[in-house]
Every structure is written in structure tokens, then in C-alpha cells.
């Protein structure tokens, strides 16, 4: 591959790319439609004045109801421009330059840049097939200002064991350090019920993007019982972006009213697609970990940069480099596309691997 092409490879090269014949296993956005309640609420909305920085009251009250088993109140939430802003505000609220943030690799590709943009340092815990080594975690947690956990994981689709999550809760609580839990895929688990990290030291990050297929609406939130974190996030957001889009917040409020059958039906679809792509990759002889949630799979391939570039240029198939996620010998596939496209894409992967 020419060096200029190697330099061009980045997520921005593929995000939003569409076209005739293109099969995209790239960007992780659902191809399924949002709930009808979300679409129907927008037609007669006419209040476009500035909104509350923390988020519209009815949406935060709705979120508090969702978190009622934790005795949440509306004042524990800050509604943000997607989960990405929630993460950024949280890092800025809890950390200082040169602080270390402990996280597990492979990781979502924005984590490391967000940490470094805030002049902090990522510290990585050992993992085995995407699962956290809890002994290594216990050793390294003493060095960290905060911990970041993502389960189910983007890019692996792996979920952490409940006993591991409970140990992480206790270790961080005993050390008195914030535990940031990225729960964006919490509703998309195939193997068991989600175990949600909780406690006065926990900051939960979530969005409406994945569960309700609302990526472009850009509505996320952070939830914390620590009022100092919430207040600091609101102060920062006041000067960084002001209120989150008020129409999008209205749509998010109506998404909360969606019957649970909507999510259940979506999970069945994701699971069936997971089975197709996982079994297909196993038949191709790829080293791959079985996803347990979300909609990503991370196979090991020879020469990942050549694979990503040539699959796109020669076969019109978009995939993401594993090195963007801290997995240099792997490539990420998002299976957020219909079963027929997944099967067609796998055939093209087979063609590439066979050298045809």
C-alpha cells in the first residue's frame, strides 16, 4: 500500500460514506428505525428557545424514573450532545492534567483522544479475549485518578462478568476514586441481564443512539449522585455548548415511553445477526471472540491495514482498523446492517482472504 494511502486511513474517511454497492461494516449506528413515538412527536413542536443547560425538566424526570431503583432525582442528570460530550465533561469535571485514567483495551476509539485532550494519561489494564484481569486491575487502580469501564464493549461486543464488575465497584469505592461506566449498549445484551454499576462514586454515561436508533439526534446524558460532578459538568457545558438540541430532547423523552417490546424485538434481530457473522467468520478460519452484546466483532487478520484498504478499494466493503481501538492485529466489523448484506460482505471477505 502506498504510504499516502496508509496515512489516509482514519475513522473520518469512512463515517457517513454511502454509495451504490458499498457494504459498510464501519460506523456503529443501527440501521433499524427509531420508535414511531419518536417520529410522531416532532411534527407539531414549535418551542425553539434556549433550554436548560442541564437538560429539559421532563426528560430528566423521565430518566430519574428509569433509574428509580437507585433513588435517582432529575438533578442527578446532565443531558448532553451524545455520550461523547458526557464523557468529555466527566473527564474535565473529575480530573486534572497528568492524572491517569484506568481503562481496558480494546477500547472505543474516542476514549484515548478524549483523555489526552484533557491532558491526562490513559493507563491500561490487562485483558484476555476482552475480559478484564481483575488482579491486574486491583494493582493498577491505586495509580489511577478514575476508572472507565465499557460493558458491553465497543469494539469487542464482550461483556464483563458480574463478579468482576462487583469487584471493580468495591475496589474503586474503597479507593475513593470515580468509576465512569459507559452503558451505551446496556440494553443490547444477548447472554444475560445487564448488571449496572452503581454507587455514590459511579458516573453513568449513556445515550439514546443505540437502544432507540437515534444516533443523529445526538442526545446523551451523564448520571451521578455526586452533586459536585454534576454541577461542574453543567458549568463546563454552559460555556462549551449550552443546551442540547431541544427538539432532539423532546424526541428522547418520547423514546422513554416506548414499550419494552420495542427493545426486546431489536435485541432478537441483533442476536440473529451476531450468529450469522460469528459463525461465518469461524467458517473462514478467523480468530474471533464471540460477541455477547452490542453489535461489533473483532477478528484477527493478517496485515490489517492492507485488509481495510483493499476491502474498501477493491471490494467496496468498509471495515475499521483495530489499531484505532487498541487492537493492532485485528479489524472491527459492525453488524448493524441486514442479514443479506452481512452474508454478501462475508463472501467478499472470503474472496479477499483466498487471494481471488
pLDDT tens digits, 23-48: 999 988 999 999 999 998 988 899 99
Which residue do the cell numbers 489511577 mark? Answer: 144
pLDDT for 356? 63
Same domain for 278 and 200: no
Tally of domains within the chain: 2
| Residue 151 in grid coordinates | 460493558
Same domain for 106 and 59: yes
Out of 213, 237, 255, a domain closes at 255
| 66 inside domain | yes
The CA-atom distances, in angstroms, between 327 and each of 271, 299, 340 are: 24, 10, 28
pLDDT band, very low/low/confident/very high, at 355 (cuts 50, 70, 90): confident
Quick one: what percent of the chain has pLDDT higher than 90?
A: 89
CATH number at residue 307: 3.90.1150.10
| 13 inside domain | yes
Same domain for 313 and 242: no
Same domain for 189 and 278: no
CATH number at residue 73: 3.40.640.10
pLDDT for 1? 46
Segment holding 208, helix H or strand E: none
| 34 inside domain | no
Mean pLDDT of 232-245: 98
What are the beta bridge partners of residue 23? 317
Same domain for 291 and 264: yes
| 36 inside domain | no
Quick one: what percent of the chain has pLDDT higher than 70?
A: 98
- Per-residue model confidence as pLDDT tens digits over 105-161: 999 999 999 999 999 999 999 999 999 999 999 999 999 999 999 999 999 999 999
| 285 inside domain | yes
Q: Look at strands 179-182 and 317-318 and give their pairing.
A: unpaired
| 54 inside domain | yes
Residues ≥6 apart with Cβ < 8 Å to 91:
101, 114, 115, 118, 120, 146, 180
Same domain for 216 and 149: yes
Same domain for 125 and 52: yes
Same domain for 273 and 124: no
Q: pLDDT at residue 7 above 80?
A: no
- Per-residue model confidence as pLDDT tens digits over 296-347: 999 999 999 999 999 999 999 999 999 999 999 999 999 999 999 999 999 9
- Per-residue model confidence as pLDDT tens digits over 60-98: 999 999 999 999 999 999 999 999 999 999 999 999 999
| 292 inside domain | yes
Same domain for 201 and 329: no
**Domain range for 341:** 3-28+260-353
pLDDT band, very low/low/confident/very high, at 192 (cuts 50, 70, 90): confident
| 33 inside domain | no
Same domain for 201 and 86: yes
Out of 220, 255, 290, a domain closes at 255
Q: Are 127 and 105 in contact (CB under 8 A)?
A: yes
Out of 227, 255, 283, a domain closes at 255
Residues ≥6 apart with Cβ < 8 Å to 288:
278, 281, 282, 297, 298, 299, 300
pLDDT for 15? 76
Same domain for 181 and 101: yes
Same domain for 242 and 152: yes
The structure's pTM equals 0.95
Amino acid at each position: 500500500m502506498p504510504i499516502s494511502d496508509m496515512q489516509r486511513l482514519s475513522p473520518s474517511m469512512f463515517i457517513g460514506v454511502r454509495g451504490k454497492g458499498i457494504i459498510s461494516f464501519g460506523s456503529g449506528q443501527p440501521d433499524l428505525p427509531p420508535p414511531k413515538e419518536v417520529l410522531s412527536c416532532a411534527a407539531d413542536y414549535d418551542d425553539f428557545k434556549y433550554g436548560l443547560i442541564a437538560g429539559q425538566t421532563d426528560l430528566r424526570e423521565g430518566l430519574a424514573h428509569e433509574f428509580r431503583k437507585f433513588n435517582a432525582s432529575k438533578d442527578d442528570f446532565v443531558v448532553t450532545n451524545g455520550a461523547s460530550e458526557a464523557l468529555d465533561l466527566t473527564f474535565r469535571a473529575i480530573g486534572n492534567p497528568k492524572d491517569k485514567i484506568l481503562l481496558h483495551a480494546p477500547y472505543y476509539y474516542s476514549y484515548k483522544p478524549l483523555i489526552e485532550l484533557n491532558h491526562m494519561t490513559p493507563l491500561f489494564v490487562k485483558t484476555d479475549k476482552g475480559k478484564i484481569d481483575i488482579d491486574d486491575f486491583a494493582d493498577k487502580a491505586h495509580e489511577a485518578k478514575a476508572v472507565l469501564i465499557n460493558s458491553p464493549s465497543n469494539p469487542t461486543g464482550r461483556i464483563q462478568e458480574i463478579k468482576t464488575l462487583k469487584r471493580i465497584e468495591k475496589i474503586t469505592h474503597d479507593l475513593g476514586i470515580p468509576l465512569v461506566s459507559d452503558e451505551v449498549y446496556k440494553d443490547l445484551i444477548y447472554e444475560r441481564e445487564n448488571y449496572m454499576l452503581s454507587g455514590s462514586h459511579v458516573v453513568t454515561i449513556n445515550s439514546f443512539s443505540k437502544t432507540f436508533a437515534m444516533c443523529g439526534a445526538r442526545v446523551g446524558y451523564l448520571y451521578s449522585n455526586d452533586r459536585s460532578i454534576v454541577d461542574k459538568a453543567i458549568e463546563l457545558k454552559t460555556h462549551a455548548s449550552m443546551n442540547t438540541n431541544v427538539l432532539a430532547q423532546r424526541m428522547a423523552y418520547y423514546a422513554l415511553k416506548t414499550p419494552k417490546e420495542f427493545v426486546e424485538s431489536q435485541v432478537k434481530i441483533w442476536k440473529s445477526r451476531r450468529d450469522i457473522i460469528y459463525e461465518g467468520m469461524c467458517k473462514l478460519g478467523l480468530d474471533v471472540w464471540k460477541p455477547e452484546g452490542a453489535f461489533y466483532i473483532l477478528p484477527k487478520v493478517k496485515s490489517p491495514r492492507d485488509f481495510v484498504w483493499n476491502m474498501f478499494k477493491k471490494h467496496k466493503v468498509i471495515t475499521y482498523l483495530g489499531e484505532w481501538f487498541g487492537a493492532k492485529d485485528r479489524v472491527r466489523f459492525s453488524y448493524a446492517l441486514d442479514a443479506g448484506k452481512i452474508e454478501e460482505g462475508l463472501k467478499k471477505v472470503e474472496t479477499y482472504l483466498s487471494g481471488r
